[in-house]
Chain A
Amino acid sequence: MTEEQKNKQMEQREVKASADKLSENKRRRLIKGAVAIPVIMTLQSGAALARTSNLVGSLEEDIPDDSTHVATQDLGNGKRIVCAHPDDSEDQSGAPPYDLGNAPMGHLEPNFDSNGNALSLNDQANNCRGGGGLVISATAFSSFDGRMAGL
């Protein structure tokens, strides 16, 4: 075992020890608070997607909040628009459709702002387009299912 691995193990043990020692205050907080259940959230951000060439159209219309046409993901904290990035190493001169390429990029748009205010699907779609991204259909997105690492 390398020195680095040993250090990591020691750090891990310290974290475990710390987690084992629940202070009375924290217990009270958990008992009184709304989080007296186990919580896990998985973070999503800009992610490289792995697939061969991906041709997609973009949705340019307004997106109502009950849309089932647009690609979204819900990670347990509300629906977020899937924002795809056209691959600039692919020839996009025939766009649309856009080519997301062999290593296309995409991210989930934030569904709240830094102040915690909710953003509608349409706001998210506009933010995606404003950043040069493509709002894609649920059908297009489902064709990548299982091959879109991170989304």
Chain B
Amino acid sequence: MTVGQVPFGKFIALLSDSGLRVRVGPFNIRINTKSVTLANHIYRLYESYKLAEDEFAEFHVQVIVVHPKRKIFSPHIRFFVDGHSPFPPFPQEQGLTALEWGINLVIAARVSHLLLFHSAAVERNGQVILFPAWPGSGKTTLCTALIYRGYRLFSDEFGLMDPDNGDFFPIPRLMPLKNESIQVIRDYLPEAILGHEIPKTLKGTIAHVRPPKESFMRSEETAKAKWIIFPKWVAGSSLSLEPLPDSEAFLLLASNSFNYEVLGEVGFQAVTHLIRTCSCYKLVYSDFDDVISAMNDLTD
């Protein structure tokens, strides 16, 4: 059963009372909020998330609206995980960003049995492409274009790898487009479903993309990576896809991991195996048609 199949009244009751339990990749997360505004956004954008009713939830998150006693202060919201708040307060209208960033933080800080790369990951023909990137390199925008053109979303944020066998776990979630990327995607993919624009966040204006249903339906199908591509969007550039030396890819990938050092030798061996079994490239692009065509050629 998915969130969209739950009647709205029951959905609101779950969120505000015992919590809405959803599957987020290999984890179950219980979400609790009494904010009706946030509930409306979640109902629309989480439509394809699978419910995890009666299952153990690894993370319990809450978004609470705080009404200050003194009227000169406006209401704000706070994000809590297992009863503790890792962030300062957010403006009330930023509930969805607080929830999504909060879940990111929880995954990044707490998952220690899997190797966690800061990377987008998509799948085609049974094999995964990783797009490790620094913030601002356009991986979420690229990922959005690809998943609306037939690629299956694993994640726009986390490459989640089992270090024992090299399997990657899908963890499809909302994807936060930032600033100019929002209009770029609206123009290129009029069919893409985006949430409302949230201005003045720490990263500027954010609008969340709802990934296609198929990514959620197949979220239990793991796959191995075959390509590691370091993308860079450069305005007006022609497409270039050049091999990257393995040693450089190793350093870039390992230093881009959230928990490489925590895993010690296991992390070293896992990254070594990953680089040895993947082809690594540097990608520079500006045009979505070009990059999708290049990715199709690579993955055919």
Query: Is there an interface contact between A130 and B251, defined as CB atoms closer than 8 Å?
Result: no
Q: Is A43 an interface residue (CB 8 A)?
A: yes
Chain A binding site: helix, strand, loop or mixed by DSSP? loop
Q: Given known contacts A95-B88, A114-B231, is B282 in contact with A45 (CB within 8 Å)?
A: no
Query: Is there an interface contact between B251 and A115, defined as CB atoms closer than 8 Å?
Result: no
Shortest distance between the CB of A38 and any CB in chain B (Å): 16
Q: Nearest CB to that of A108 among chain B residues?
A: B255
Shortest distance between the CB of A81 and any CB in chain B (Å): 13
Q: Nearest CB to that of B135 among chain A residues?
A: A127
Shortest distance between the CB of B225 and any CB in chain A (Å): 17
Q: Is B87 an interface residue (CB 8 A)?
A: yes
How far, in angstroms, from A87 to B81 measured CA to CA in the complex? 11
B 254-285 contacts with A by CB, 8 A: 254-262, 282, 284
How far, in angstroms, from A41 to B109 measured CA to CA in the complex? 26
Query: Is there an interface contact between B284 and A115, defined as CB atoms closer than 8 Å?
Result: yes
Chain A 79-113, CB within 8 Å of chain B: the 1/0 string? 00000011111111101100000000101001001
Q: Is B187 an interface residue (CB 8 A)?
A: no
Chain B interface, number of residues (Cβ within 8 angstroms): 40
How far, in angstroms, from A127 to B178 measured CA to CA in the complex? 13
Give the bracket for the number of chain A residues in contact with chain B: 20 to 34
B 127-163 contacts with A by CB, 8 A: 132-137
A 2-45 contacts with B by CB, 8 A: 41, 43-45
Query: Is there an interface contact between A110 and B134, defined as CB atoms closer than 8 Å?
Result: yes
Of A43, A93, A127, A131, the residue contacting B255 (CB under 8 A) is A43
Query: Is there an interface contact between A92 and B261, defined as CB atoms closer than 8 Å?
Result: no
Residues of the B chain whose Cβ atoms lie less than 8 Å from the Cβ of A46: 108, 257-262
Query: Is there an interface contact between A45 and B257, defined as CB atoms closer than 8 Å?
Result: yes
Shortest distance between the CB of A41 and any CB in chain B (Å): 8
Q: Is A64 an interface residue (CB 8 A)?
A: no
Query: Is there an interface contact between A150 and B261, defined as CB atoms closer than 8 Å?
Result: yes
Query: Is there an interface contact between A88 and B232, defined as CB atoms closer than 8 Å?
Result: no
Residues of the B chain whose Cβ atoms lie less than 8 Å from the Cβ of A95: 85, 88
Query: Is there an interface contact between A45 and B85, defined as CB atoms closer than 8 Å?
Result: no
Residues of the B chain whose Cβ atoms lie less than 8 Å from the Cβ of A140: none
Q: Given known contacts A113-B134, A115-B282, A129-B202, is B259 in contact with A88 (CB within 8 Å)?
A: no
Residues of the B chain whose Cβ atoms lie less than 8 Å from the Cβ of A131: 104, 108, 135
Q: Given known contacts A43-B251, A45-B256, is B88 in contact with A96 (CB within 8 Å)?
A: yes
Residues of the A chain whose Cβ atoms lie less than 8 Å from the Cβ of B234: 115
Chain B 107-140, CB within 8 Å of chain A: the 1/0 string? 0111000000000000000000000111111000
Q: Is B41 an interface residue (CB 8 A)?
A: no
Q: What are 25 of the A-B contact pairs (CB < 8 Å)?
A: A43-B255, A45-B254, A45-B257, A45-B260, A46-B257, A46-B258, A46-B259, A85-B109, A88-B81, A88-B82, A88-B105, A88-B110, A92-B87, A95-B85, A110-B256, A113-B232, A114-B134, A114-B137, A114-B232, A114-B282, A115-B137, A115-B232, A119-B134, A130-B203, A150-B261
For the complex of A and B, the 9 pairs showing the least CB-CB separation, nearest first, are: A88-B86, A114-B230, A46-B258, A115-B232, A47-B261, A45-B260, A132-B105, A127-B135, A113-B134
Q: A89-B84, A130-B203 are in contact. List 4 more A-B contacts (CB 8 A).
A: A47-B261, A93-B85, A114-B134, A127-B135
